[in-house]
Amino acid sequence: MVAVGPRKLLWRLAEVVDVVPETPRTKSLVLDAPGWEGHRAGQHVDVRLTAEDGYQAQRSYSIASAPEEERLVLTVDRLDDGEVSPYLTDVLTVGDRLELRGPIGGYFVWDAADGGPLVLVAGGSGVVPLMAMIRHRAAVGSDVPTRLLYSSRSYEEIIYREELEDFAARDGSLEAIHTLTRSAPKGWDGYDRRIDARMLSEVAWTPEERPLAFVCGPTPLVEEVGTALVGLGHDPGRVKTERFGATGG
């Protein structure tokens, strides 16, 4: 339980200091957020947009940066019919300000002290809060054995691909395993199907190794993975999930 009393999460203005294209549909917003009091890897923020006439829209976005980083980074997936995400990916530029509050969510979080082994399972932009965990792990020099199983539609749509390759190349205790569900480049020898129980039995450690699992992605993926992990004998209490529903972000 909480030791401190309720503290209001205040709206604050952050400034966009960089915009980094990650994939054709995804950009990272690097923010300078004065007064930001820190976060834990896996948490999210609420973003609020205000039109000139006062009309407002709010959405939640996962934090991509490690708590140890100076800048707050959000990675936003552009939803074609969305109200907020196309503004964030197409309109917002360096020097613009963005209103946000957080951090929010105290369950889908990982700290290096929580140990592992870790199995991180992502679908699409569900990788964002898991990347915060991977970056946190690297920032504190943790060697908790970690496997990321990451489902993308195509090679081009893998978010953070190069950074993940770099991490894995430097750190033998981190593996990034990809599956491509729609199209794969010539010569691709990785998985090329949706994540299923067989894939998890090959990747997600054994129940005896008692991995801590974090699963984030669209609802069908999270349902499939959660059910499969429990079916394989993993402790449901060690499987944490976060879903991107059909929300019109």
Partner 1 sequence: MGEGFFSRGFRGRRRNQDTALPPGQYLEDGFPVLSAGPTPRTPLEEWDFSVVGEVDEPKRWTWEEFRALPSEEITTDIHCVTKWSKLNTRWEGVSVDTLLEGVDTSAEYITAYCDGDYTTNLPLEEVTGGKAWVAYAYEGEPLEPEHGGPARLFVPHLYFWKSAKWVRGLQLIAHDIPGFWEGLGYHNFGDPWREQRYWGD
| List 68, 83, 166, 209, residue binding partner 1 (CB under 8 A) | 83
Cβ(170)–Cβ(141) below 8 Å? no
81: phi > 0 → left, psi -120 to 50 → alpha, else beta; which?
Answer: alpha
The CB-of-236 to partner 1 minimum distance in angstroms stands at 5
Nearer to partner 1, 148 or 222 (CB): 222
In whole angstroms, give the CA distance from residue 208 to residue 247: 37
Binding flag, residue 2, partner 1 (CB under 8 A) = yes
| List 56, 141, 169, 186, residue binding partner 1 (CB under 8 A) | 56
Give the pair of three-digit tokens for residue 33. 């957020």
**Backbone torsions φ then ψ of 41, nearest 5 degrees:** -60, 125
In whole angstroms, give the CA distance from residue 19 to residue 28: 6
Binding flag, residue 107, partner 1 (CB under 8 A) = yes
Q: Which of 135, 35, 154, 22 is nearest to 89 (CA)?
A: 22
Binding flag, residue 42, partner 1 (CB under 8 A) = no
The CB-of-10 to partner 1 minimum distance in angstroms stands at 6
In whole angstroms, give the CA distance from residue 173 to residue 104: 29
Region binding partner 1 by CB under 8 A among candidate stretches 41-49, 128-136, 175-183, 191-199? 41-49
Region binding partner 1 by CB under 8 A among candidate stretches 94-102, 133-141, 154-162, 163-171? 94-102
| List 68, 143, 190, 227, residue binding partner 1 (CB under 8 A) | 227
Nearer to partner 1, 98 or 138 (CB): 98
